[in-house]
A and B are shown apart, each in its own frame.
Chain A
Amino acid sequence: KAGVTQTPRYLIKTRGQQVTLSCSPISGHRSVSWYQQTPGQGLQFLFEYFSETQRNKGNFPGRFSGRQFSNSRSEMNVSTLELGDSALYLCASSWTGLSYEQYFGPGTRLTVT
């Protein structure tokens, strides 16, 4: 069974631009969650989607948004990029939600210049 895939793997953007990251979960998984990882703040929960609905949200500004499609694939968008948004963005999927084993993708390394 294929693992969680994330595209693109690396991205360089300029301050003020917007970016969209994509995540394809493991087949059959309906929960997709997103995390931001930085050296200073560590791993922080962004949001979780289940059956196309945002079920949980972390403490991030409204510039961070996401969505999930009917095939469970998910995208996250960051608008008006700031230097502090430079991070590794990780996507994880699971059968039913955060109370279960999470399968992580390799991440998208975003650099904002």
Chain B
Amino acid sequence: SQQGEEDPQALSIQEGENATMNCSYKTSINNLQWYRQNSGRGLVHLILIRSNEREKHSGRLRVTLDTSKKSSSLLITASRAADTASYFCATDHPDTGANSKLTFGKGITLSVRP
């Protein structure tokens, strides 16, 4: 079953603007990761935030995690046309026997207009 649910499903912005994407999940997590995918290619890891962290930065990316609301947001600042892609959140959930499963949301399509 789908755990991570991204919002909005699609986002269109002008180059230079900020893009904010949200992800919600249902059960407790070990960590939450964000990935980018260009045109049906492989996914590229953007950032990982652990359940005991609240905020993380990487270049133009800022990720927040609110475990009480079971939600995360990804902010891309000063967007560029090259940021046009699909973005996925992936949640790592503890399972019985301390193994984990990685569950992806359906993704957000971001279009950045030049």
Bitwise interface map of B from 36 to 79 toward A, beta carbon under 8 Å scored 1, else 0: 00001111110010000000000000000000000000000000
* Given A56-B95, A88-B40, A106-B42, A98 contacting B101 (CB threshold 8 A): yes
Interface size class of A (residues with CB under 8 A): 20 to 34
- Within the complex, the shortest CB–CB distance from B7 to chain A, in Å, comes to 14
Cα separation A83 to B43 with both chains bound (whole Å): 24
Q: Is the interface of A mostly helix, strand, loop or mixed?
A: strand
Cα separation A79 to B49 with both chains bound (whole Å): 38
Cα separation A43 to B48 with both chains bound (whole Å): 18
Interface size class of B (residues with CB under 8 A): 20 to 34
A27 within 8 A of B: no
Cα separation A56 to B101 with both chains bound (whole Å): 7
B88 nearest in chain A by CB position? A43
* Given A100-B48, A103-B45, A107-B40, A58 contacting B101 (CB threshold 8 A): yes
- Within the complex, the shortest CB–CB distance from A64 to chain B, in Å, comes to 16
- Within the complex, the shortest CB–CB distance from B37 to chain A, in Å, comes to 8
A33 within 8 A of B: yes
- Could you say which of A35, A42, A43, A106 contacts B41, with CB atoms under 8 Å apart? A106
* Given A42-B104, A42-B105, A101 contacting B40 (CB threshold 8 A): no
- Within the complex, the shortest CB–CB distance from A9 to chain B, in Å, comes to 11
A15 within 8 A of B: no
Known contacts A98-B100, A102-B35, A105-B42; 16 further A-B pairs (Cβ under 8 A): A33-B102, A35-B104, A43-B88, A45-B101, A55-B99, A56-B99, A99-B31, A101-B45, A102-B43, A102-B90, A103-B45, A104-B43, A106-B41, A106-B42, A107-B40, A107-B42
A positions within 8 Å CB-CB of B: 4, 33, 35, 42-45, 55-56, 58, 88, 90, 92, 97-107, 109
